[in-house]
Structure 1
């Protein structure tokens, strides 16, 4: 088996476990905070929001730092650091005696982050150009698959075993990811840049500054779009069902899963397509299709219509993150790939936070249906910008970057 395929399998498992851990912990946070002694419903909501959001905010700050360390020391050491650190920290959450210890551990989880950045950088730099799109497409399904299974697994363990055990089991899985990385990931790393660069010096080494900024903003918009719907989707599904319906949680779960299942199916195929026709074309087409598909979701009258549109949306979203990563790889010198991917991941973490805030605020001020309209409009505006700043530039003579 080629080394890049073996690395891809191990990184897929690690990112799957990381996604599983993040998503299975989120639904039980309010219950665990209540168990730690917080009785007031409003306080539980506030503290749950703080415990959830602080990890992403701190991750956005530290992701470029760990990206720089990956360029300096290698990507495998960063995978080992992040997986072992997360295993210890998440496991310790099950031992928390009060909510402030829990929030402190969530903060540390944000500090120790970097597994996804190191995985993406390793696969991008160790995979040959002909297979990079496919490999990054497959890798992008790992976090999605973990996020799909996480809430169900977390709820099942919390109900049938215990809330603390959710953290212990997640920590154990991350420890397995650490061991798999230690024994099976192979990296031939040669540090190309011996000097520690300040941001200004790093930025001077980026040859395609405008394209790089456009990709950062596009990745931010993609994650905003994905997470703007999450806070309101269950409420929206409830409004589409007859009063007194007894299977709201199941139908809401299926609606959540529809786009993720489609993404898992389509991401490797669209990754191969970006290898063949160029990632800039896939990004533009998928942004346009995703923006258009968000709009009719505001007009549905049944959950089944919404579910179908969410599945189609997942097919388009599948082409976005892998193609953005492929294009960033192609326009970035190898010596600074980790740091650039670190900034890209920061944009994604900020998008998670921004999307959650946007969806909640739009729903509160003008109604849930307008969340879909605003999100669709945001994607379409991004598509127009990508057309002028990326597509036309790469199509008009700069074939080396396009392919």
Structure 2
């Protein structure tokens, strides 16, 4: 299985199509984020405090329900195949997005945001599909490149969404988003190929058996925690970033623009670094890349608490994004090294659940730390959390139970 010609499926074509799918879903999700509070206001929530509360709830509930549903979809993916899960996710999200544009009150909208979380999961299933098809010695490069799809979509989505909302109004953007997701469904239906061996429900491993079948269960658990902490580190800074830029720069006329640039630069850096560091991980080992980039993240987060200008912060965040671009692909590569194809769907779905928990808890922790000790303390707190994770992962990797060598 050294190349696409000897594989029963053309994994290179699947990788390209999955990348486009991740890009479209990343774009679709982020299209509506810039004006989410404005839409909630349009639904009748006008009090400032209530608007903040409902906006936070609408944002978080999607990740919360995704964390609950991911293991269920992962089990079905192992039984029925990953392609059908991609189709379910794309079509389900398209329908929900269309219904969001028709919502007439906040409760309907909140219910639909929860349903969006339940029906999501395109990206983790795309990762599982590619991870089980690509040759092991190309896993880091392939998963690193795949990760740039969702990142690219998340970067461009807010720009397009804001422009469309100003031009067309809020509700039409939901309909356009549903159209993008339906295109993703059609493209996946006709272009993704998968050879599956159906597993009967009675033959499925239970959760305990899944973990006992792993080559290194302790390491896999550490990788789940790493995924959660990566999202905590990202999310803890997000709520206070604009406030921190204002503290550094004052109430300048272009505060929103400067904050937007500083918020976006890590994603741009991750786009550039993820495939390259993934390829390096294939050569020297993803575990070395993981530990090294966690340490680099700590060394970059601490100076962020000491900067005096927004551009110093922007430069450090660019370097942080370059390091972060290698983290999730390295985690995913190590996961597939330690799991058989029979349970890959569930392992990736468990990892997604930990990621969603990090997405929910990160902003809450960041807000709590900034309220108690100030904005600069958030960066120190985040650095300490990442340092703990680096030490925990390093100690776990030192335990007996070597990783299998990549297949040639």
Superposed pair shares fold, TM > 0.5: yes
In structure 1, what is the equivalent of residue 101 of structure 2? Answer: 94
Classify the secondary structure of the residue corresponding to 2:307: coil
- Deviation of residue 197 (structure 1)? 3.3
**1:199 — aligned with what?**
207
Among 391, 394, 402, the residue aligned to 1:398:
402
The answer on whether the counterparts of 1:67 and 1:114 sit within 8 Å (CA) in structure 2 is: no
The residue aligned with 2:15 is: 8
- RMSD across aligned positions (CA): 1.6
2-structure distance, mates of 1:289, 1:318: 12
How far has the Cα of 1:24 moved from its partner?
2.4
**Which residue pairs with 1:324 in the alignment?**
331
Match of 1:255 in 2: 262
Q: Displacement of 1:193 after TM fit?
A: 6.7
- For residues 69 and 354 of structure 2, the distance between their equivalents in structure 1, rounded to whole angstroms, comes to 12
Which residue matches 2:389?
Answer: 382
Other structure's SS at 1:398 match = coil
Instruction: Please list, as runs of the form range in 1=range in 2, the aligned pairs for 1:189-228 lying within 5 A after superposition.
Output: 189-191=196-198, 195-228=203-236
Deviations 1:64-91 (A, max 9, x none): 1101110000000000000000011011
Instruction: Please state how far the C-alpha of 1:402 moved relative to its aligned partner.
Output: 7.7
What CA distance in whole angstroms lies between the structure 2 residues aligned with 1:148 and 1:234?
A: 17
Contact 1:225–1:379 under 8 Å retained in 2: yes
Q: Which runs of 5+ in 1 are unaligned?
A: none
Cross-structure match for 2:127: 120
Q: Please name the residue that 2:307 is paired with.
A: 300
Residue segments in structure 2 that go unaligned for 5+ positions in a row: 5-9
Distance 1:359 1:147 in 2: 21
- The number of residue pairs the alignment matches comes to 399
Task: State the shift of 1:242 in Å.
Answer: 3.5
Give me the whole-angstrom Cα distance separating, in 2, the residues matched to 1:163 and 1:370. Answer: 37
Counterparts of 1:208 and 1:130 in 2: how far apart (Å)? 19
Q: 1:393 to 1:201 in 2, by over 3 A?
A: closer
Structural mapping, 1:226-241, within 5 Å: 226-241=234-249
Partner of 1:289: 296
Worse-superposed segment, 68-77 or 200-209: 200-209
Shift of 1:355: 0.7
Residue in 2 aligned with 1:313? 320
Taking structure 1 as the reference length, the TM-score comes to 0.96
Equivalent-residue separation in structure 2 for 1:216 and 1:267 (angstroms):
19
Task: Give, in whole Å, the separation in 2 of the partners of 1:258 and 1:107.
Answer: 30
Q: Give the corresponding residue for 2:345.
A: 338
8 Å contact kept, 1:279–1:402: no
Task: Check conservation: 1:229, 1:372, Cα contact below 8 A.
Answer: yes
Aligned counterparts of 2:354 and 2:66: Cα–Cα separation in 1: 10
1:16·1:142 contact (CA, 8 Å) conserved in 2? yes
Q: Is the 8 A contact 2:219 2:393 kept in 1?
A: no
Mapped to 1, the partners of 2:383 and 2:18 lie a distance apart of 32
The separation in 2 between residues aligned to 1:95 and 1:193, in whole angstroms, is 40
Cross-structure match for 2:375: 368
2:28 maps to 1:21 = yes
Q: Distance in 1 between matches of 2:305 and 2:267?
A: 19
Matched, 1:351 2:358: yes
- Mark the CA change 1:130 to 1:334 in structure 2 (over 3 Å): closer, same or farther: same
